[in-house]
Amino acid sequence: MVFVLNANKQPLNPCHPAKARRLLKKGKAVVHKKFPFTIRLKDRKDISLNQQTYRIKMDVGSKITGISIMKKNEVVFLAELHHKTDIKQKLEARRSYRKSRRNRKTRYRQARFLNRKRSEGWLPPSLQSRVDNVISWTNRLKKLIPLTDISLELVKFDTQRMMNPEISGLEYQKGTLQGYEVREYLLEKFGWQCAYCGTKDAPLEIEHVYPKSRGGSDRVSNLTLACREFNEEKDTLTLDEWAIQLIKKKDKRSKRILSSFDPIKKQLQKPLKDTAVVNSTRWKLYQMLLTTDLKVECGTGARTKMQRIQHEFPKEHYYDAVCIGESTPSTPIHFKTNYVLQIKAKGRGSRYRSGTDKYGFPIRQLPRVKMIHGFMSGDMVKAIVQRGKYLGTWFGQIAMRSSGYVDIKDMTGKRIAQGIQVKCCQLVQRFDGYCYFINKRKESAIPHHV
């Protein structure tokens, strides 16, 4: 579906691509933006005619956030927002550069730590960046389509209630979602495999490390995953008792099982890093979304997985976004789009005036102007190369050189074409802090029963 704006740049109902092509061909509309593709009508100024309401759903993750826009049981837009994951490393590198400069230049500098008091609700830059990306794209999409509601996966696992069921009583722990909450947590924690033998093909069962029949609790710190064979073999034994039996056998299989005990004990006490990132940002994100004038609906990852399995969708971030919250219809969901917009956060550049090697030493001087031959680094371009090593058509993000030759990068930052003349490039969209690529959505309905 194509987003549509009126002459005053107010959002209207999206239209079919064929209709958008007709409007552009007849001169009744112009291209307003390429990513996401949006047209603007020249003559229509009202927004009341057949105005419909849409809901945006977001599956917020530590690295990728899935986005979908729905109208009842119809999906009109799908996207994946890739967050920056190197902010902490860059800050540490900058800190080391500044520290080395202070050692070389020993003039007196007043202490600054006394005036660095953090405000209430402060988040580290690496976490704040994720919140800002989600809020930025919520506001951007509000300007392109009439949104009224938002569904947010506020938590992936309710870890506090799993560790202490008495917070809301036993009924919460034994509710409809209890199995999905605990199982999903354990699957991610133990890598979707049996903790004892490492198999991924067999059905996995929840196993009590310290047997429940001997007083073991249902805390997640006492739970792991095991296939049927090892779950029955361990039976009501503790790990130490089972280890004594395995030592007596002295075969390769027993030694392999024994080697898994220490990693299991370490993993039981180890929290999920990605889950900690999401839990650290969830309330800040929720509070900021309340200021967008959208009705906010919250859901958990357990409900999302349950509804994704019911609809038999593959495990993808954008399908998770479709299945968030109680607003997900139980009737079949229809997709009005077959493509997924991939959005990669790149930032607005840096203040570095020289390129460095892997050790941080300057090796080349960077140009002082951003615009070179009508382009600047970060622009999305289409390059048609007529001859040479890179013969063909290339699409990606441009890296400018002062000489007039450019490099083309893909979404991961890998250079897919180098040393191309700038005259071969056509501008697709100016750099706005993100790079864009389009993939086809997975249409095969693969039930995820694990």
* CA–CA distance, 179 with 300 (Å, rounded to integer): 13
Residue 409 parent element (H or E) = strand 405-409
Q: How far is CA 254 from CA 137, 148, 264, 265, 330, in A?
A: 53, 59, 16, 18, 47
**Range list of β-strands (E), 304-403:** 334-335, 339-345, 354-356, 362-365, 380-385, 392-400
pLDDT of residue 83: 92
pLDDT of residue 174: 43
Task: Report which of residues 172 and 3 the model is more confident about.
Answer: 3
pLDDT of residue 339: 92
pLDDT of residue 364: 77
pLDDT at 173 over 60: no
pLDDT at 361 over 70: yes
* CA–CA distance, 281 with 83 (Å, rounded to integer): 13
CA angle, 440 then 443 then 449, to 5°: 130
Domains and CATH numbers, the chain: 1-51 (no CATH), 52-86+127-345 (no CATH), 354-432 (2.30.30)
Single-letter amino acid, residue 174: K
Average pLDDT of the chain to the nearest whole number: 82
CA dihedral 361→364→368→372, nearest 10 degrees, is -140
Which of 7-16, 200-209, 414-423 has the weakest average pLDDT? 200-209
Tell me the average pLDDT across 321-332: 89
Size of the chain, expressed as the number of residues it contains: 450
Residue 44: both structure tokens together: 């229509």
The DSSP result for 231-296, as a single string, is: HHHHTT--HHHHHHHHHHH-SHHHHHHHTTHHHHHHHHTPPPHHHHHHHHHHHHHHHHHGGGTPEE
Residue 199: both structure tokens together: 């198999």
- In this predicted model, what pLDDT tens digit does every residue of 227-271 receive, in sequence order? 888 888 888 888 888 888 888 887 888 888 888 888 887 777 666
pLDDT at 354 over 50: yes
Which of 63-77, 348-362, 412-426 has the weakest average pLDDT? 348-362
pLDDT of residue 444: 56
pLDDT of residue 60: 87
CB atoms within 10 A of CB 355: 10
